[in-house]
Amino acid sequence: MLNRDGDRQRMFSRRAAILAGGKFALLSTLVGRMYYLQVVESDRFQMLADENRINLRLLAPSRGQIVDRFGVPLAVNQQNYQVLVKSENTPDINETLNRLGLLIPLSADERTRILQEVRRKRKFVPVLVREFLDWEDVARIEVNAPDLPGVIIDVGDRRFYPQGDVASHILGYVGAAAAKHQTGDPLLELPGFRIGRSGVERTFDLALRGRAGSSQLEVNALGRVIRELGRREGQTGQTLVLTFDTALQQSAMKALGDQTGSVVVLDVHTGATMVQASTPTFDPNNFTNGLSETEWRALADDERAPLRNKAIAGEYAPGSTFKMIVALAALEAGLINSETSFFCSGSLTLGDGKFHCWKRQGHGHTNMNKGIAESCDVYFYEISRRVGIDRIADMAKRFGLGQELDLDIPGSRPGLIPTKAWKSAIIGQRWAQGETLVSAIGQGFVLATPLQLATMTARLANGGKAVTPFIARDVMASDSLSGRSDAPVPDIGVNSTHLNLVLKAMGRVTNSRRGTAYRARIMVPGMAMAGKTGTSQVRRITRAERAAGILRNDQLPWKRRDHALFVGFAPVEAPRYAVSVVVEHGGGGSSVAAPIARDIMVETLKRDPAGQAPGADVAGSRSADGKV
């Protein structure tokens, strides 16, 4: 009996020891784990806890301003109240939108867009619900905040163009970053963040965009912000200074009025753009606010193309404004001189074709001076037969025609200067001599933009220097200028004697009684202007129309009327500015385009800073590689 009791006691002692050992092992493991978590991994879990408690929000920087050469604001920022939703803090996004829709009505399209963005973006990235809220909307949302989990009121910037439609084609507009614009920059994912979509807003978008800041926010379990723990402000985008003059731009727009066309004014020594007007135009503020489908279609379908910058993208037959190029090509080839004369009877016959002069009774004996001043077509038919299209094309390209110019504004067109090789490669036909005659008066295949014509005129007036037009003078950061250079402008290699002959003839266009633009001359002392008129046909005049005398533009529908052109420079004695004017379907260059050019040139010379020698940096210059 005692042995049996002893065995039981020993067995109980062993089991108690095993159980105690197990408990000790478990306790040791628990203590060790607690030590590991609380001591060894304390920093990690502290960080995780902070991540649950603290939200890091990216702060969009203010977009840089755009100003004109005198500092007049062209693009600024205004306060913009926005309502956002963050899906990671919203148990049911649809229910949240339903509740929010009771406070600010949401259309079906808006809800669809919001839900698509929620699915596309990461859960912690806020999605824009509505912007441009008034204070009453903001107050209603804030009062009902406890019933709107994940809904945030934010204050951002709204791009505003105080000059309205005056410089819309130059400035462009901003818009939300679409999927194709995503580059991995987290800024582009911010709700309501906008990038430049056209004009200088697009060209200089990165400089204007600035750098993002950040804000540390303490939030509760529902994601509601309790307080801000810290903030690092973003860096405002740089200020972009343009060369053009807002007052002159307004004058040009007023001079064009309801007509469709463009005006370009360049500094002949630097290439700085003083005016670049295109009509009709549009208000870029409408793009900031968002266009309806009806509004967009009205702009896109308008036959006068208000969205197209005609100054750089409108391609026109230059008409008689091209004649100086033909004259220089013939002078360089040694085929004519200032006294070389041809007889104009009103037409020239070549093979089976008859090529008419604009003056039906003819100009009689005509030399180069008279040919340019009175715009005799037959004179240029004759010299073009001798010089040939390829020499003419070479001279044209030296003056900036037939090529894209180094621009600050996207969307420029190259125009067209034809050659024998071009026609063979593109059309698959041999060049005909009659096509040379047509090209000599700026018709046929020849096309140029108003900016190219202004550049051509600037290079004529400055003695053959290859100035390149530009409109962005400086990008400024912290009141410092960048990109300034006094690099010499290269020469295009044209004989100065030949240039002087052509310039003298251009002076007669406006200042000789027989000149085609005499009625549009500038009579202010010291402001005399030289130039060349042009009237380019948009249709072929039939033999029946010519016989019937139906040649007046006012007898034709608007789309069939001739384009009116004028190019010029002033002052004649010391050229400072070059101008080109194109009025679509305006009629005659002498009666329509030349008076506009005269008025704009007078205003330009009046606003010219006093005491500046020709070539001085009035409107800014740029480096030899064309970069700001």
Q: Is 505 left (phi over 0), alpha (psi -120 to 50) or beta?
A: alpha
Least Cα distance to 455 among 445, 447, 446, 465 occurs for 465
Q: Are residues 112 and 158 in the same domain?
A: yes
* Helix segments in 212-274, DSSP class H: 246-256
Quote the CA–CA distance of 582 and 592 in Å, as a whole number: 9
| Residue at a domain's end among 242, 271, 297 | 242
Q: Are residues 251 and 125 in the same domain?
A: no
Task: Give ∠ CA 562-592-280 in degrees, rounded to 5.
Answer: 80
402 lies in which domain range?
A: 246-284+311-473+483-606
Q: Are residues 63 and 210 in the same domain?
A: yes
Positions in the chain whose pLDDT score sits under 70: 1-12, 36-37, 39-56, 184, 191-192, 217-230, 476-486, 539-555, 609-628
Say what the pLDDT of residue 1 is. Answer: 52
Q: Are residues 163 and 264 in the same domain?
A: no
Q: Are residues 320 and 199 in the same domain?
A: no
Q: Are residues 412 and 499 in the same domain?
A: yes
> Domains in the chain: how many in total?
2
Q: Are residues 119 and 232 in the same domain?
A: yes
8-state DSSP, 37: I
Residue 622 lies in a domain: no
Say what the pLDDT of residue 482 is. Answer: 44
Enclosing H/E stretch for 508: helix 496-511
Say what the pLDDT of residue 551 is. Answer: 56
246: CB partners within 8 A, 6+ apart: 68, 70, 72, 74, 163, 166, 167
- What's the CATH number where 276 sits? 3.40.710.10
Residue 340 lies in a domain: yes
Residue 402 lies in a domain: yes
Say what the pLDDT of residue 553 is. Answer: 66
Say what the pLDDT of residue 207 is. Answer: 92
Q: Are residues 343 and 207 in the same domain?
A: no
Residue 93's alpha-carbon distances to 164, 174, 418, in angstroms, are: 39, 29, 61
Q: Are residues 264 and 213 in the same domain?
A: no
Q: Are residues 361 and 433 in the same domain?
A: yes
Q: Are residues 220 and 257 in the same domain?
A: no
Residue 385 lies in a domain: yes
Q: Are residues 65 and 160 in the same domain?
A: yes
